Structure 1
Amino acid sequence: MDKQALKTKACREIDAMAPELANISLFLHQNPELGGQEVQAARLLTTAAERLGFQVRRNISGYPTAFIASKGSQGPHVAFLAEYDALPGLGHACGHNLIAAMSFGAAAAFAGVAGDQAVSCLIGCPAEETSGAKVAMAADGVFDGLAAALIVHPADRNQLGGTAYATHPLQVTFTGRAAHVAGKTDKGVNALDALVMFYQGLQQLRHTFTQQTILAGIFTRTGVAPNIVPAVAEGKFTIRALSADYLEHTVLPAVNRLADGIALATGTTVTTVHYEPLFKELINDVKLMNLFKANMESLGEPVALLEPDEADGSTDVGNVSHAAPTIHPDLSIGPGLTAHTPEFALAAGSVFAQQRLLVGAKAMAMTAIDLL
């Protein structure tokens, strides 16, 4: 059977799976689970994969809700990455319910047509919104040796390319000495003053970098009462750059020097802790991009190409892309949508989105077939 015949067969299999894929997506949408707690989602996906003859390994890289489901014995290993964690208070406002269903459908269809010519892998990746299981999984070699790692993200338009920011979130804590604000002999040491100075210093620091960066944050601990000099003040900051190397060796050392200087100037002490792991920048594989674009267009779907340095958010898929050829295209589920909003969550559960996920599944399966 030639390549085009295989693609046609895969698309027909995905169309036949449409009710099951919609059920997977809508179950996840109606039963949102936070990162690391996706027990129902992982059970649903692994059970469905086992019914199709996939061999499933669970509890990957320390994540009980991570899994690797594979089918096939030889040939190129192609992975379809499933995400299924939701956002607190918003549910599936990033559309991970659709991602899980798309990747499941693509993995099943590819396995169905490839037979012994390839190994189809559905890799369940928890906690993308928080600790990012793919970081630990990449460090453990889960993605090593893959011919491709594919994932499609719902969005407001079809687009491909670009990158994602490297990010290494930082918690900064200044410690001073409490005192009553009206004290005559002891004025204390104001930790909040130090944190405010640090926040203001970040606004100036960003102008010193030669690469595009993001320095932003919130105050999470500011004191106990307005008439007591704050002894401890704490903030959480998102520190991002277009490459992990620039972030780790240029941006973060400068941020830490700023914190140390302010501590010295204010008589406080400071500690900095990375409260989430390093998400590396996303490297979209050019060959896979070209294949995916051609397959989308064959499905009647135009795709906009982004400039290589155009970044939008951060993702632990970046860490995967440093271990294996990877693409992370966007698929439109409606115009004017912004992720992490109630409107996006509503769209991710719509009838239209359940139809659109079939397109994403087909394009991934077709791209995998191109690698045979």
Structure 2
Amino acid sequence: MNLKNRELQACTIIEGIQDELKSISLFLHNNPELGQQEVRAVQIISRYMEQHGFDTTVGLTTCPELRTAMRSDTGLDRLHKMAFLGEYDALPELGHGCGHNLIAIMSMGAAIAFSQTAHDTWGTTFFGCPAEETIGGKVFMANEGLFKGYDGALIIHPGGENEVGGTSLATHPLEVTFHGRSCHIASLTDSGINALDCAVDLYQSIKMMKQDIFPKGAIVGAIFTQAGTAPNVVTDKATLRMTVRGATVSDLEDIILPAIKAEANRIATSYGATVDMHHYEPLFKDMRQDERLVSLFDEVMTEFGESPRKLPPDEADGSTDVGNVSYEVPTAQPTLNIGNQLEAHTPEFACAAGSPYGLDQAIKGAKIMAVVALRYAESLEV
């Protein structure tokens, strides 16, 4: 069977299971589960993949962060392997305000269709990736080596317009706690050491460093999570939590974060305070989109009537743990429109993710991904 016929067959397979896929997506949408709590999502997805000939494992490696991670495999002993990345965690209060219920079925449908239409030299894996919104399940999956040996990894994200290319920002959230010495502000014998002054100084210093020191693309957002208990008492403990982002891992880990940490230490020393620092979430790497896959998504999305805007390689919007996958295997993550100019993480986006149009677009996304995978596989065999 030639490539064109295999592409048509893949689309026919997805059309044949579209009602089942939509039902799964609506179940996820109506039963949102936060990261690392996606028990029902994993149950329904793993059961469905097993019904379509995949061997499924729930809970990957001994890593506790991956207890709701899963993989469904077929043909793993073959020469080539393609990975399809699914997500299923929801947001607090908003539910599926990022459309992960759609991401799940796009990758499921594409994996099933690809497994039945690719050459017999290809194996297929659907990876169920937990907690993208928090700890980043793919970070731990990449650290455990689960993506090694794959020829490609594909995922489509729903959004407010069609886009291919671009990147994502590297991020490594940081918590800084200053420890001072408490006393009453009217004390005549002890002026104390004000930890809040330290935290405020660091906050102000970061604003200046963004202008003078940090490289292009640096973003730091900070809040005070602990700032004292009473206004008439010198604060002995103050904490800043910050999301720290850079254009690349190198910018983030070699320039931005060392500068912040050095400044925190300098400030603590100047006040006679001490400081503790730790990363409360893991490193999300910048995304290195594979140009071959980006070009294929551009081509196929256009053929399906979803002509995308092609982003420059250095244009970034937010951070994602897909970036960590892209350091291990050729990867692409385009965006598929489910509602013009919709913004993710909003009630409107959550509604769109459960709408008939959103579900129809997810089925189209599954077809697009399957066709891209088939063309990419063909190109590697030539």
TM-score range, shorter chain: over 0.9
| Equivalences for residues 253-292 of structure 1 within 5 A | 253-292=258-297
What is the CA–CA distance in structure 2 between the aligned matches of 1:230 and 1:49, rounded to whole Å? 55
Secondary structure (helix, strand or coil) at the match of 1:116 reads coil
Secondary structure (helix, strand or coil) at the match of 2:234 reads coil
| Equivalences for residues 218-257 of structure 1 within 5 A | 218-257=223-262
Are 1:103 and 2:92 an aligned pair?
Answer: no
Report how far residue 184 of structure 1 moved.
2.3
What is the CA–CA distance in structure 2 between the aligned matches of 1:115 and 1:258, rounded to whole Å? 57
Are 1:369 and 2:368 an aligned pair?
Answer: no
What is the CA–CA distance in structure 1 between the aligned matches of 2:266 and 2:93, rounded to whole Å? 38
Q: Deviations over 1:187-228 (max 9, x none)?
A: 221111111111111110112123321111111111112222
What is the CA–CA distance in structure 2 between the aligned matches of 1:37 and 1:217, rounded to whole Å? 27
| Contact 2:42–2:58 (CA under 8 A) maintained in structure 1 | no
Per the alignment, residue 301 of structure 1 pairs with 306
One of 183, 186, 189 as aligned partner of 1:182: 186
One of 174, 177, 195 as aligned partner of 1:173: 177
Q: What amino acid is aligned across from residue 45 of structure 2 in structure 1?
A: L
Per the alignment, residue 56 of structure 1 pairs with 56
| Equivalences for residues 3-42 of structure 1 within 5 A | 3-42=3-42
Structure 1 moving runs of 4+ over 4 Å? none
Per the alignment, residue 68 of structure 1 pairs with 71
Q: What amino acid is aligned across from residue 268 of structure 1 in structure 2?
A: A
Secondary structure (helix, strand or coil) at the match of 1:60 reads coil
One of 83, 105, 126 as aligned partner of 2:87: 83
Q: What amino acid is aligned across from residue 263 of structure 1 in structure 2?
A: A
The percent identity for this pair of structures is 48
Report how far residue 115 of structure 1 moved.
6.1
Per the alignment, residue 340 of structure 1 pairs with 345
Per the alignment, residue 201 of structure 1 pairs with 205
Q: What amino acid is aligned across from residue 143 of structure 2 in structure 1?
A: A
What is the CA–CA distance in structure 2 between the aligned matches of 1:271 and 1:318, rounded to whole Å? 28
RMSD: 1.1
What is the CA–CA distance in structure 1 between the aligned matches of 2:140 and 2:300, rounded to whole Å? 32
What is the CA–CA distance in structure 1 between the aligned matches of 2:222 and 2:49, rounded to whole Å? 41
If the length of structure 1 is used for normalisation, what is the TM-score? Answer: 0.98
What is the CA–CA distance in structure 1 between the aligned matches of 2:276 and 2:18, rounded to whole Å? 52
What is the CA–CA distance in structure 1 between the aligned matches of 2:91 and 2:223, rounded to whole Å? 19
Per the alignment, residue 117 of structure 1 pairs with 121
| Equivalences for residues 293-332 of structure 1 within 5 A | 293-332=298-337
| Contact 2:173–2:279 (CA under 8 A) maintained in structure 1 | yes
Per the alignment, residue 222 of structure 2 pairs with 217
What is the CA–CA distance in structure 2 between the aligned matches of 1:252 and 1:210, rounded to whole Å? 12
Q: What amino acid is aligned across from residue 3 of structure 1 in structure 2?
A: L
What is the CA–CA distance in structure 1 between the aligned matches of 2:167 and 2:190, rounded to whole Å? 52
Q: What amino acid is aligned across from residue 106 of structure 1 in structure 2?
A: A
Q: What amino acid is aligned across from residue 15 of structure 1 in structure 2?
A: E
| Contact 2:114–2:370 (CA under 8 A) maintained in structure 1 | yes
Report how far residue 136 of structure 1 moved.
1.4
Task: List runs of 5+ in structure 2 lacking aligned partners.
Answer: none
Are 1:192 and 2:213 an aligned pair?
Answer: no
Secondary structure (helix, strand or coil) at the match of 2:205 reads helix
Number of aligned residue pairs: give it.
372
Report how far residue 272 of structure 1 moved.
0.8
What is the CA–CA distance in structure 1 between the aligned matches of 2:27 and 2:167, rounded to whole Å? 31
What is the CA–CA distance in structure 1 between the aligned matches of 2:78 and 2:321, rounded to whole Å? 28
Report how far residue 235 of structure 1 moved.
1.4
Secondary structure (helix, strand or coil) at the match of 1:343 reads helix
Secondary structure (helix, strand or coil) at the match of 1:280 reads coil
What is the CA–CA distance in structure 1 between the aligned matches of 2:215 and 2:304, rounded to whole Å? 41
What is the CA–CA distance in structure 1 between the aligned matches of 2:353 and 2:122, rounded to whole Å? 32
Q: What amino acid is aligned across from residue 241 of structure 2 in structure 1?
A: K
Q: What amino acid is aligned across from residue 145 of structure 2 in structure 1?
A: G
Q: Deviations over 1:86-131 (max 9, x none)?
A: 1112111111111001111111111121263311110011011111
Secondary structure (helix, strand or coil) at the match of 2:57 reads strand
What is the CA–CA distance in structure 1 between the aligned matches of 2:183 and 2:354, rounded to whole Å? 53
Q: Name whichever of 77-86 and 105-114 sits farther off.
A: 105-114
What is the CA–CA distance in structure 2 between the aligned matches of 1:90 and 1:300, rounded to whole Å? 30
Secondary structure (helix, strand or coil) at the match of 2:207 reads helix
Q: Deviations over 1:274-315 (max 9, x none)?
A: 011111100000001111211111112101100111000001
| Contact 2:215–2:251 (CA under 8 A) maintained in structure 1 | no
